Amino acid sequence: MYSILSHLGISSAYATVLELLKSLSQSARETVRTKARTCGFLLVYDNINRMARAWDPDLGQKDTIQNGTAATFVELADCDLGKAFDAGTLWKS
């Protein structure tokens, strides 16, 4: 799809998009590392599943499932980390 749309001048080339995604992930990694050293944070993980249906199963193609994981970095502002991560409070309830 990328090759068709980029030849028509509608989309950027696949290599351009891939380089942009690599640059964004490196920038996000540096930001997370900087923030993680200076404040408390949580990481929220989410499982991502996507099913890709075969166009024509008669030609030997089959449905595939793509799996991945996404993470959200949550910065804890104005929070006492000792109290926030104290499991004893949950045990008392």
Q: Tell me: the pLDDT tens digits for 62-93?
A: 888 989 998 898 888 887 878 777 888 778 86
Q: Is residue 87 part of a domain?
A: no
Q: Coil, strand or helix: which one is 13?
A: coil
> Do 44 and 33 fall into the same domain?
no
CA distance linking residue 40 with residue 80, whole number of Å? 9
CA distance linking residue 52 with residue 37, whole number of Å? 40
Domain extent at residue 64: 40-77
> Do 19 and 52 fall into the same domain?
no
CA distance linking residue 37 with residue 28, whole number of Å? 14
Instruction: Give the total number of structural domains in the chain.
Output: 2
> Do 30 and 5 fall into the same domain?
yes
pTM for the whole thing? 0.54
